[in-house]
């Protein structure tokens, strides 16, 4: 490409018009030529122009393209990573359901049945309304209930509760309770075993039998309509406001030689008290009248008191842990005699 020299015919100071030409060819100077004798028309040369950039411009362009591609690659990589990171959070907090399942769960208000769909809910999910489960509910972790818990029937393998209010509790198996406070009735159908001390602050009423294998300590007054004991020990004064009635089987009794011919003896009572009847026959004299053997012998030699009934008879006794004997100190006339006895250890 070259510039044409200014025409000498132009005005001074005015630049000449610029004429473009193909590189490598000489520029043509516009002149006024005579018409060709062959055609009679002026000749104009028409050529296609091409631009060839230099090597420096080529390298600069390639560098710019490489920089732009690098920037685009970095931006695309950042967007993909951000989308994947955001996708994980959305998977935890977002529930995706089909349109039919959504209609059955929330729109149609029909009872929830076997929909053949699986609902997966991520953490920190909040249900503002009621949630109804048509079938079983399985919880893999802990269940925290901040409000009331109501169940028609509940089965717990292990239940730990700080404070529980129960209107009715049925325990078919074993139960271990550290502290049990009952504000109303306690009804036990079967056997009850108390391994430690039992304290009753109010009245204890037992409608049936009470069997105590160990000791019974009563700090206050013990009132009993009927009191029966195989062995009763009082460490202090024993006061009985009513009668003392002894019971038990009658001991064995045998007659002595002092009862005479055809003499007989009989006894009514028990080991603690009773009456011995002596029927003296002819030839009765002094000596052994009756021999009494206890049904249950005493641990030590007891005290025996014998009193003649009806008439005075000079008698005395000997005693042992197994029984006692009544002796006549003088001769006795034939007839009937009675002797009351009281035995205490």
- Quick one: tokens of 123? 């953490």
- Residue 109 binned pLDDT confidence (cut-offs 50, 70, 90): very low
The answer to whether 285 touches 331, Cβ cutoff 8 Å, is: yes
CA 126, 130, 133, 138 dihedral sign is positive
Cα–Cα dist 263/279, whole Å: 5
State the pLDDT confidence band at 2, using cuts at 50, 70 and 90.
very low
Residue 31 has pLDDT above 50, yes or no: no
Distances, alpha carbon 137 to alpha carbons 111, 131, 133, 305, in Å: 16, 12, 7, 83
Residue scoring higher pLDDT (212 or 319): 319
DSSP code at position 228: -
Whether 271 and 237 have beta carbons less than 8 Å apart is answered as no
337, with CB counted inside 10 A (0-12, 13-18, 19+), is: buried
Q: How far, in Å, CA of 292 to CA of 326, rounded?
A: 8
* Most confidently modeled range among 39-48, 166-175, 239-248, 276-285: 276-285
* Whether residue 251 has pLDDT greater than 90: yes
The tally of CA atoms less than 13 A away on the side-chain side of residue 244 is: 8
pLDDT, tens digit (0-9, with 9 covering 90-100), for 196-216:
888 888 788 888 877 877 777
The domain segmentation of the chain, as residue ranges, is 252-344
Q: Is the pLDDT of residue 316 over 80?
A: yes
Q: How far apart are CA 189 and CA 191, in angstroms?
A: 7
Whole-angstrom Cα Rg for the chain: 65
Across the range 299-313, mean pLDDT stands at 94
Task: Write down the pTM of the prediction.
Answer: 0.43
Among 113, 91, 90, smallest CA distance to 100 is for 113
| CA pair distance 275, 280, nearest whole angstrom | 16
CB 248 within 8 A of CB 233: no
Q: What tokens appear for 332 in the block?
A: 């006795």
Q: Mind listing the pLDDT tens digit for each residue in 323-332? A: 999 999 988 8
**Closest C-alpha to 341, from 330, 319, 332, 321:** 319
Range with the lowest mean pLDDT among 55-69, 102-116, 267-281? 102-116
Q: Which CATH class is domain 252-344?
A: mainly beta
pLDDT digits (tens, 9 = 90+) for 132-161: 877 788 887 888 887 778 877 777 777 777
């Amino acid at each position: 490409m070259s510039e044409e020299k200014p025409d000498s015919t132009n005005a001074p100071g005015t630049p000449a018009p610029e004429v473009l030409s193909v590189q490598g060819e000489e520029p043509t100077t516009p002149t006024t030529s005579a018409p060709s004798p062959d055609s009679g028309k002026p000749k104009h040369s028409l050529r296609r122009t091409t631009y060839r950039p230099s090597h420096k411009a080529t390298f600069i362009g390639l560098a710019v393209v490489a920089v732009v591609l690098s920037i685009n690659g970095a931006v695309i990589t950042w967007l993909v990573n951000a989308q994947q990171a955001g996708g994980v959070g959305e998977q935890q907090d977002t529930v995706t359901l089909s349109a039919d399942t959504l209609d059955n769960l929330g729109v149609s208000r029909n009872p929830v049945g076997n929909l053949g769909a699986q609902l997966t809910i991520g953490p920190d999910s909040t249900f503002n309304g009621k949630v109804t489960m048509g079938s079983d509910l399985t919880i893999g972790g802990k269940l925290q209930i901040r409000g009331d818990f109501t169940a028609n029937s509940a089965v717990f393998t292990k239940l730990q509760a700080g404070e529980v209010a129960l209107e009715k509790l049925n325990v078919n198996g074993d139960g271990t309770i550290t502290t049990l406070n009952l504000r109303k009735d306690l009804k036990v159908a079967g056997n009850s075993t108390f391994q430690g001390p039992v304290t009753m602050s109010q009245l204890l009423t037992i409608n049936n039998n009470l069997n105590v294998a160990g000791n019974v300590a009563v700090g206050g007054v013990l009132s009993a309509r009927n009191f029966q004991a195989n062995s009763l020990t009082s460490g202090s004064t024993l006061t009985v406001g009513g009668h003392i009635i002894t019971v038990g089987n009658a001991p064995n009794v045998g007659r002595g030689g002092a009862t005479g011919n055809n003499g007989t003896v009989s006894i009514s009572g028990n080991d603690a008290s009773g009456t011995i009847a002596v029927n003296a026959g002819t030839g009765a004299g002094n000596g052994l009248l009756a021999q009494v053997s206890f049904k249950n012998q005493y641990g030590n030699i007891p005290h025996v008191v014998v009193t003649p009934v009806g008439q005075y008879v000079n008698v005395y006794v000997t005693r042992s842990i197994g029984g006692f004997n009544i002796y006549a100190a003088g001769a006795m006339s034939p007839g009937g005699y009675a002797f009351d006895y009281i035995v205490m250890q």
